[in-house]
Amino acid sequence: MAQPELLRLVAEAPAALRDILDGARGAVQPPIRSEIFGLQRFAQHGRSLGETHRAARASSRSATFFPRLRSNILTLREAHRYIGVQASTGYDISPAAEWLLDNFHLIEAQLKEIHDGLPRRYFRALPVLLDEPLAGLPRVYGVAWAFVAHTDGAFDEELLVQFLCAYQETRELKLGEMWALPTTLRVVLIENLRRLADRVDTNKAAREVANLCCDRIESFPLQALDELLLLLEQRGVAKVFLAQMAQRLIDRRGATDSRYHDWLRLALPDPAALQAQHSADQAADNLSVSNAVTSLRALGDADWPDIVARTSALMRLMLTSPVFEAEHAATRDQALHGIEVLARRSGRGEVAVAQTLLDFMNSTADAQSADGGESTVPSHWLRGAGRPALVRALGLREPSLFGRAMPWRALRRRVALPAYLALLLAGTLGLVAWLLPRSMATLPASDPALWLMLLGAMLMLF
């Protein structure tokens, strides 16, 4: 383990620093950051990504990102504490660290937002990717990952709309995936912030270890420096340590044993190039952190019903119907949910089911005067008299109960409340019938306690 070894080599290292540099945690992961795309390039990427995203229904054993999300929050809290201590003791901190300190309350609030926005039952209904590197995770997670990577975490509504529309030219996204997108974007942004915070505090800790070594460099054996370098390599911050050593020792060239300068020259042949790279990485991390924090706010302010209406293939198709477009939002949601259920049962795409529904609605438009226009309304075919015809057209059969088409789930929903109230009433009556005769037998009619008992029984019945 790296912690005891680090304590042996640098005894004065604080416990928080040793925890952050523990090699058992593995190397610091790179940020979710790739080439920045414009509108045209993003559309091209969306189409190609849709072609490669093979997905299937999630199983009960499919991976979830909730354990990783909790781990991300814990890592961010650790980084927040460490950076806070560094700032309070007068150490310089980077702009990225300042962003994390100033906006940590916003980051903490995302955990509740994500759990409320994407319950586990909803999560299990999302199609999952079959291919690495995100195999087993929801397909919409791969979409959100690509968007964050190629925007450096900056939320741009028009760019997102363009990307989603282009993606669905080659791969249809379900309506549930579209509504899960804002929450999934939060998850990916938190993942990116975790990686960035891990880089910030681990680099800071590596520089602090270098300072501790340089403070007593003459008493530090070269073999111990080699061992320390190997430990820091496990966390991927050996070069940060060397760059800080070079910066400290350059001012002590005449006062420090030449052996240490020779050791450093072998370990770090070109300190100027490394320092330039670290400066560039730090500037990029500063921008990524500020983009992620700003985007977490923007996601809450965005008009997601409008974004879904503009990007969902199902919504765009259904809105071609003037009747559907004129309906109340709650009525629309009922129709869309009915389409989702039929799509799952039939194994067809939601767009295909919606097209079949629209065909029925349009075919009866001429006969609307005969039935008052009822057959042109989606609910007529999804929940009313037209449902058997729509179900047959989709190749499905509804279970029959007492000669009528009555789906079991619908029957269960209808009887659930009456059954619950009947059991509650029966239990209350049984309790009163058991208590009251015994109380009346033991108390005389003039006893005030008897009347209190009767009053209590009436309240129980009420």
In this structure, what token pair is assigned to residue 61? 């054993």
Q: For residue 146, what is the enclosing H or E element?
A: helix 139-151
58 contacts 128 by C-beta, under 8 angstroms: yes
Q: Is 251 exposed, middle or buried (0-12, 13-18, 19+ CB in 10 A)?
A: exposed
129 φ/ψ angles, rounded to the nearest 5 degrees: -75, 145
Tell me what pLDDT residue 162 has.
Answer: 94
Element (H, E) at 102: helix 95-102
pTM over 0.85: no
Per DSSP bridges, beta strands 55-56 and 400-401 are unpaired
Interatomic CA distance for residues 75 and 197, integer angstroms: 8
Long-range contacts of 365-370 (CB under 8 A, 24+ apart): none
Residue by residue, pLDDT tens for the chain (462 residues) are 446 777 788 878 888 888 999 988 999 999 999 999 999 999 999 999 999 999 988 776 666 777 788 889 999 999 999 999 988 888 888 899 999 999 999 988 888 888 888 787 788 889 999 998 988 899 999 999 999 999 999 999 999 999 999 999 999 999 999 999 999 999 999 999 999 999 999 999 999 999 998 888 888 888 989 999 999 999 999 999 999 998 888 766 655 678 888 888 899 989 889 989 999 999 999 999 999 999 999 998 999 999 999 999 999 999 999 999 999 989 999 999 999 999 988 889 999 999 999 998 888 765 554 555 677 889 889 988 888 999 999 888 765 544 444 455 556 667 888 888 888 888 877 877 776 676 666 656 556 666 676 677 777 777
What is residue 405's predicted lDDT score, i.e. its pLDDT? Answer: 46
Beta strands in 45-153 (DSSP E): 55-56, 128-129
Which of 110, 195, 113 lies closest to 152, judged by CA? 195
Q: How many CB atoms lie within 10 A of CB 242?
A: 20
Looking at residue 369, its pLDDT comes to: 46
**Per-residue pLDDT, 422:** 87
